[in-house]
Amino acid sequence: MNSKELRLIEELKIRQGDTWRVLKIMSEFVEGFDALSSVGPAITFFGSSRLTEEDHYYRMAYRTAFILGSLGFHIVTGGGPGIMEAANRGGKDAGALSVGLNIQIPTEQVPNPYQNLSLNFNYFFVRKVMLLRYSTAYLIFPGGFGTLDELFEALTLIQTNKSPPFPIILFGYDYWSKLVDFMRETMISYRTISDSDLNLISLCNTPEEVVELVLDEMKRLYDRLKEEEGYSQMLSRLEVILNRGGVMI
């Protein structure tokens, strides 16, 4: 074969590989949407996979998920150890649906054992869609690059009106306050974000603060859905949660 023919064969191989990759991506979306269609209202927890059960934030994640799960929220995580394990564990112990959206990465190879609905993904971006699609609030505990990635993607989607607004809650003053200060003192001063963009973030330091904030937001969501849609399954579930939380509706 001459060089032109060899190059053509290589191009065909690449194109065929891309075609199968697209089909694989589509199958992950279909499987995820199908499996998660009945999930919600759900709270999605993010945070480091490296924190152990002796860590303060592990214990706080467990307690927060337990309280929210007891109210009737479904608990969703990335399915790994650390904060994700704590949240799945708290939700499962509370009798809630505890969902893990797992992905294979070097430092997070084994799904935690506290999931009663477990899905596996090969593609980060498909998993991100699933973490966002069925969540009514993001609860972000101390974490690394992956946690920051999820935080800023959610902020970007809401800021650009690609996603309806929903609560983004940073848990832990000690960990997050300097990041918030950077946004306020540097990003706003350079006009790379607006003052109002900081309103997209809430900062909490106890499970009770989180629960109060989430219930307030769910009351607003309930009122909006009731006005726009009338009766729906989501509205019915929100009503149960708000009644358990002592919120007048």
Task: Report pLDDT for 76.
Answer: 97
Residue 161 sits at φ, ψ, to 5 deg, of 60, 25
Residue type, 174: D
**Cα 32 → chain centroid:** 14
Instruction: Please count the residues of the chain.
Output: 249
Task: Report pLDDT for 147.
Answer: 95
- The tens place of each residue's pLDDT in the chain, 249 residues long, gives 566 655 655 555 555 566 777 778 888 888 878 888 888 899 999 999 999 999 999 999 999 999 999 999 999 999 999 999 999 999 999 999 999 999 876 655 678 999 999 998 888 888 888 888 889 999 999 999 999 999 999 999 999 999 888 999 999 999 999 999 999 999 999 999 999 999 999 999 999 999 999 999 999 999 988 888 767 888 899 999 999 998 887
- The answer to whether residue 102 sits within a structural domain is yes
> For residues 107 and 91, what is the distance between their CA atoms, to the nearest angstrom?
23
Task: Report pLDDT for 75.
Answer: 98
- The answer to whether residue 119 sits within a structural domain is yes
Task: Report pLDDT for 32.
Answer: 78
Residue type, 14: I
- The answer to whether residue 18 sits within a structural domain is no
> For residues 48 and 148, what is the distance between their CA atoms, to the nearest angstrom?
10
CATH number for the domain that contains residue 122: 3.40.50.450
Q: How many structural domains are present in the chain?
A: 1
Owning domain of residue 149:
39-206
- The answer to whether residue 16 sits within a structural domain is no
Task: Report pLDDT for 164.
Answer: 87
Residues 176, 118: contact at Cβ < 8 Å? no
Q: What angle do CA 80, 66, 168 make, to 5 degrees?
A: 70
Task: Report pLDDT for 188.
Answer: 96
- The answer to whether residue 68 sits within a structural domain is yes
- The answer to whether residue 218 sits within a structural domain is no
- The answer to whether residue 21 sits within a structural domain is no
Residues 159, 197: contact at Cβ < 8 Å? yes
- The answer to whether residue 213 sits within a structural domain is no
The pTM (predicted TM-score) of the whole model is 0.88
Ramachandran bin of 17, using left for φ above 0, alpha for ψ from -120 to 50, beta for the remaining angles: alpha
